[in-house]
Every structure is written in structure tokens, then in C-alpha cells.
Amino acid sequence: MILVPLIGICALIAGRVDAIRGVEPTRLHLYEPSVENNEKYWHCLNHPEIKLRFDQVNDDFCDCPDGSDEPGTNACPYNGSSKFYCANNGFIPGYLESFKLNDGVCDYDICCDGSDEAEGVCPDKCHEIAQQFRKFSDEANNDMKISLKIKQKLQLAVQKKVDDITKKLQILKDELKKRQQRAQESPESATDGFTSSLKELAQQIKLTNSAIEKQKSTIRSLEKILSTMMDNYNPNFNDLAVKDAIKSFQDYASNKEDVQVGNLESKLQSVSQEAQAFSSPQKLGVFSHYINKAKDYFKSEPVILEMEDDEDITAIKQDISIYEEQLNRNYGPDDILRAIEGTWVSESLNGYTYKVGLLASIYQEDIHIGSYKAAEGTKLIYKDGSKCWNGPRRSAIVELVCGPQNRLLSVAEPEKCAYTFEVMTPVVCDSLTHEDLLANFHIDYDSL
């Protein structure tokens, strides 16, 4: 009665696996062998119908179609979903592509323990690399602390800037409302608007008179030609068309009337002065009616005597439009890009001096590379630069990276006349995660 359970316990102990090269601890249970007649067997993970002796695992020969019998060698075709596990005791575990195993190269950036190569080929360097990483992390976190402190000040400055614009905008809107109400209630303002319309009409009359004078000059030239032909015409020459033309011109000349239009410009000036005597909008409405009659004669647009259309109100409306555009423009999350708008960074790189105006323009020496158009995440888009010789117009993308100061780091031209710049600035900084630190950490192989 006691013998069977004891046999079962022994079988379980025999099937327990402490470690298999290339297999992470959470997957070790998949490699526990079964025991039959004191022999250990194992089944391919995705093909359980295939049974292998347990010593065929990691024997440098690929037996399973899915390659699961060779987690610690490169015997099986590469499978992107299955990677070699490096324990890296004392540092961070890593996962390496199987085709890099046993190739004679120490992949310390992933397997700092050297387990990707045969024993003795790559000494364990996890302790040294862990020290480098701690030093890098301390420096990076310290720089980030400084950068975030600067960014916090910039955010406060941005908020103050937005508040100032909002305050100015509201003052302008209140002033506009006040002036519009005053214009509607003030006869003097109405008279000013009416006088302005009269001046506009006088200008149109002046232009029309100029056109009439040109036509008169043309008519006088034609009359001179016909008069000369009439004086020198030979009546014995039998040309009916000429005779009819001479007769028509004689009739025209004898019936021509000299019409005097008078100086309309001076008359309008007189009316403008008299208009000052009118104090009610109702009377101005009458004037508006007759001015429209006159403007219809000269084929111009009708006069709309809106009391708010004086120069001051127009200027206020323009200022309101400018401030609203500034508030609605895309400046990234929390409007943070306002903090660097108009900031210039300059650096001599690759034999040229580059000047990058953030949210402004970019120059290579005196050549215009582009003007700022839009922001896409941490990228600033610049377009419409000077045209390249036998090429397109220059353009650029500025990639903003985190750092405690504004500085141009690098420039490249991956395509003809299309540039990429890397600019350091604190405005894109955020707290570092462990993953961020690992992604930016580079081993100093010379000191290993």
C-alpha cells in the first residue's frame, strides 16, 4: 500500500528540471521530462506526437519541426518567436536571437554573462556592466532632474504668456463692444462714417472723370481724321461708302452739343461739409439713399453706413483676430512649444554654419532651408525653402530631444535638399522610466 506512492514521488523527483540552457525560469516546466522504465523522455512543444529521449534536448541537432528541442543552440532554423535566454545574474536578463549563438562574438549588450557562447569563450562581465549602468542611470536622472526643473519654469512662463494674451483679448473685446455701442448712439460718429463714404464716392467720380477725358481725347482724334477727309474729299470720285460716311459726319458735326457736367468733386466736398450739420442717424439714412443712387450711376458697390466702421474699430478687430489666431495655434501639449518660439540655435557642422529658428526659419549659411509650418509630436516641420539646383525646394524636419539646454546636436541630408536636424531642449523632457534608461544605455567596452 505504501510502495506505489513512493514510486510516484521518485518519478516526480526524477522529472524535475533545475535549468536548461537558453530557457527562462518561467518556461522550465515545459521541459520537464516524463519517466518511463527509468528512462527520461520529452515531447516537442508544438508536436507532442514526436517523442525524444531527454538527452536529445540541446544536442546541437534539430529534431522538432518547431525547433523547441534546441533552445540553447543554433542548430534549428531561426524562429523569431523563440529566443535564447541569458540569466545575467547581477544585472538584467536578456533575450538573444538564436542565430547569434556560438558564433564567437560576445554579445555583452544582451548576454553580459557570456552564456551565448561556449564556456570559457566570453567571461562573465555582468558586474562591470551593472556598475556602468548604475553610473549612467545616476547621471541621466540628475540631468533629467535639472531639465524638468527648467521645464517647470518654462511651463509657468508659458501659462503667464497665455493668460496675458487672453487678458488682452478680453480687454479688446470689451473695448470693441463699447465703441460699437457709442458709434450707434453718437451722431458725430455717424457723420464721420457718412463723410468717409462721401470721400470714397469722390474718389470714384475722379476715376470716372479721368476715363471720360480719355474717351473725349479719342473722339477728338477721330473727329480730326474725319474732318480732314471731308475737306479733302473729291466729290467726283464715285465711292458710295465714302459719300455715306462724309454725310453722316456732317450731320454729326452740325448737331453736336457741348454738354457741361460741372465739377462734381467740389460739389461733393461742399456736401460733406454741410453733412456736419446733421445730427441724427435718420437724416443720414436719407443721405445714404441718395448716395446709393449716385453710386449706381457710376456702377460701384452700394454704401452701407454701419456706425462701427471707423478706423479705430477696424484696428481693434484686426488685433482681436491676431490674438485669437495666437491662442488657437498648435503649440503641442500644454502649449509648451510657446516657450521656445523664436529661439535660435547655431552650430558649425559638416563644414557649414546652420542657424535653426525654433518655430521660425532655418538657414545654412545664407541659404534659406525652410520656414516653420507645423508640429507633429516632437517633430517640427519646415517647408518652402530656397530651390535646389535641378531639384526641389529645400525642407527640413527638426527632431526635438530632451536635454537641459537648447542646442543643435546634428544635421543630415538623407534625401536631396531634405534635411533632418536634432535639437536638444528641455521642453520635451519627461520623467525617465527604467525602460528609457535601458534603451539609451551604451556599454563602454574599452573599460570592461
Q: Quick one: how far is CA 224 from the chain centroid?
A: 68
Distance, in Å, from the CA atom of 404 to the CA atom of 395, rounded to the nearest integer, reads 27
Of all residues in the chain, what percent are helix, strand and coil, respectively (each to 5)?
A: 50, 15, 35
Could you tell me the sign of the dihedral formed by the alpha carbons of 410, 377, 169, 162, in that order? negative
In this predicted structure, the answer to whether residue 3 has a pLDDT above a threshold of 60 is: no
Distance, in Å, from the CA atom of 60 to the CA atom of 45, rounded to the nearest integer, reads 17
In this predicted structure, the answer to whether residue 46 has a pLDDT above a threshold of 80 is: yes
Contact 344, 355 (CB under 8 A): yes
Reported as a pLDDT band with limits 50, 70 and 90, residue 33 is very high
Could you tell me the sign of the dihedral formed by the alpha carbons of 396, 402, 406, 412, in that order? negative
Cα–Cα distances in Å, from 239 out to 55, 121, 223, 242? 127, 120, 21, 6
In this predicted structure, the answer to whether residue 81 has a pLDDT above a threshold of 70 is: yes
In this predicted structure, the answer to whether residue 229 has a pLDDT above a threshold of 90 is: no
Which one of 3.40.50.1980, 2.170.270.10, 2.70.130.10, 3.40.50.720 gives the CATH number of domain 333-441?
A: 2.70.130.10
Quick: pLDDT tens for 256-267: 666 665 566 666
Q: At what angle do helices 311-328 and 126-185 cross, to 10 degrees?
A: 160
Cell triple for 195: 463723410
What is the model's pLDDT at position 278? 52
What is the model's pLDDT at position 5? 38
Residue spans per domain, the chain: 16-123, 188-254, 333-441
Contact 63, 56 (CB under 8 A): yes
Q: Quick one: how far is CA 310 from the chain centroid?
A: 38
Cα–Cα distances in Å, from 1 out to 5, 7, 10, 271? 8, 11, 16, 130
Phi, psi of 17, deg, nearest 5:
-120, 125
Give Cβ neighbours of residue 281 (< 8 Å, ≥ 6 apart).
187, 190, 307
Contact 423, 412 (CB under 8 A): no
Of the listed ranges 39-53, 225-239, 329-343, 411-425, the least confidently predicted one is 225-239
Cell triple for 309: 466702421
Higher pLDDT, 143 or 236: 143
Distance, in Å, from the CA atom of 211 to the CA atom of 205, rounded to the nearest integer, reads 10
Quick: pLDDT tens for 353-364: 999 999 999 999
What is the model's pLDDT at position 305? 42
Quick: pLDDT tens for 105-131: 999 999 999 999 999 999 999 999 999
Distance, in Å, from the CA atom of 336 to the CA atom of 396, rounded to the nearest integer, reads 21
Q: Quick one: how far is CA 235 from the chain centroid?
A: 83
Of the listed ranges 15-19, 274-278, 392-396, the least confidently predicted one is 274-278
pTM higher than the cut 0.85: no
In this predicted structure, the answer to whether residue 429 has a pLDDT above a threshold of 50 is: yes
In this predicted structure, the answer to whether residue 298 has a pLDDT above a threshold of 60 is: no
What is the model's pLDDT at position 16? 62
Give Cβ neighbours of residue 40 (< 8 Å, ≥ 6 apart).
14, 15, 33, 34, 53, 54, 55
Cell triple for 264: 462734381
- Cβ neighbours of 201 (radius 10 Å): 22
Contact 126, 102 (CB under 8 A): no
DSSP E strand boundaries for 191-272: none
Contact 21, 71 (CB under 8 A): yes
Q: In terms of DSSP bridges, do strands 94-96 and 344-349 run parallel, antiparallel, or are they unpaired?
A: unpaired
What is the model's pLDDT at position 222? 79
